A and B are shown apart, each in its own frame.
Chain A
């Protein structure tokens, strides 16, 4: 028999006290401020904002501090906070063509209007530990050049002029919102891109990699990768017109993929698209790869049985908060469940022994 018990309050409270102490670390060292995290761990901040699905660098930095740098825990905190906010409305779609780019590169064309702009990239570094960072010291100011006012068009629009790539036409359809309606299948591309934008970077990286290794067979080039600032505009009912309500940093990746053509479509290039909060190009590329793989049905391609093509598999498992909730909950008390399993197995063994004895 199982008797319900209460208890553990004191243990829990002491555990949380210890947690706070460990979070602080060695008290002889200076405390890390939220502003320092926001400024110096800005790529962690970007990840927490994207997967927490809430753009607010200060809150993301606070969450990182509170979670002792456990980014999934930090994302959890942001998701929980997000649910307490009233929704003022939906923005107009951001105009990424007008982005003020910190970085913009194309792997498909060398000479492009606006040029190849590397930005503050880890690319071409030697990945050698820099021991100078262990010593305190100032860094030299970054070189400044002369900005040109010329346009920085989307690279794929250049291909589009010749009709060599599938067009992206706006129908002004109202997109689904998975924070309002739970996911259902089949999901359309709008909902998929929303889910991928807040999906786990590691999971999407693995899936993207799988498409390159042959699972779903679509060879991608990065047509363009751009990172920078876009303005967010929203129409304000009490004003009767729209205003810009902010400016956010985002990363955008457009892939160009081979396409053999189908019964309805001529042979042409197709696109994968990834858009994500913050400076997060690994994630943007991964989203674009997975987005392209998930489009097999609309493009009339074969289902090759690859994980990255399986919408239900990808979308149901890319959310790390759902995943960690379910995976981690099995460590919590399951005394009653287990008691019943124990009872069951004892009964089966008893029955088997009795049967044996009876023969």
Chain B
């Protein structure tokens, strides 16, 4: 999970409750200033006609974003699905910290557990879906 796009994507998709738990456990309290106050807004989600054709607007989803600057000057941006200003700020802080010498602490306490959680929840759904896959069999018709 190196690379800014990767960790930002992971955090944006993760459950707010879990991010908050990880943040609290990590015990991080960096000094920072807010450069963009947390803001709840929407993003218009697009689809494609027939899955591959021209784009169309499907409907919106709620998103919260925030931007922070650490005392060392590193800027972090946070995006999170849903409405949680506090979590969006924490994601922005993680984004900033991951660009500094504190990155290992964030990786170990926040990013790694989030990767694990995502893997588990994906796996849980796919496993249940797999159990509902149809096995077809042909009935013998007794005609030799």
Contact = CB atoms under 8 A, between A and B. Distances in A.
A168 B53 contact: yes
B52 interface: yes
Contacts of B45: 55, 91, 94, 232, 248
Contact of A118 (B4, B40, B62, B134): B134
Contact of A242 (B5, B122, B124, B133): B5
A183 B81 CA distance: 29
A94 B47 contact: yes
Interface in B41-89: 41-63, 65, 67, 77, 79, 81-83
A144 B5 CA distance: 32
A85 B136 contact: no
Given A147-B126, A242-B5, A198 B43 contact: no
B82 A144 contact: no
A146 B53 contact: no
Contacts, number: 238
A91 B44 CA distance: 6
Contacts of A194: 56-59
A3 B54 CA distance: 57
Taking each of B43, B45, B53, B134, which has the highest tally of chain A beta carbons within 10 Å of its own beta carbon?
A: B45
A125 interface: no
B51 A254 contact: yes
Given A189-B56, A193-B56, A88 B43 contact: yes
B125 to A, nearest CB: 6
Given A59-B62, A86-B42, A243 B133 contact: no
Interface in A111-162: 111, 115-121, 142-148, 154, 156-157
A114 to B, nearest CB: 9
A93 B55 contact: yes
Interface stretch (A66-74, A269-277, A301-309): A269-277
A218 B71 CA distance: 65
A13 interface: no
14 contacts: A88-B42, A101-B129, A143-B128, A174-B55, A190-B49, A194-B58, A228-B129, A231-B9, A231-B13, A232-B45, A234-B43, A238-B67, A243-B12, A246-B13
Interface of A: 49-50, 53-56, 58-59, 82, 85-94, 96-97, 100-103, 110-111, 115-121, 142-148, 154, 156-157, 168-179, 189-191, 193-194, 197-198, 228-229, 231-234, 236, 238-239, 241-248, 250, 252, 254, 271, 273, 275-277
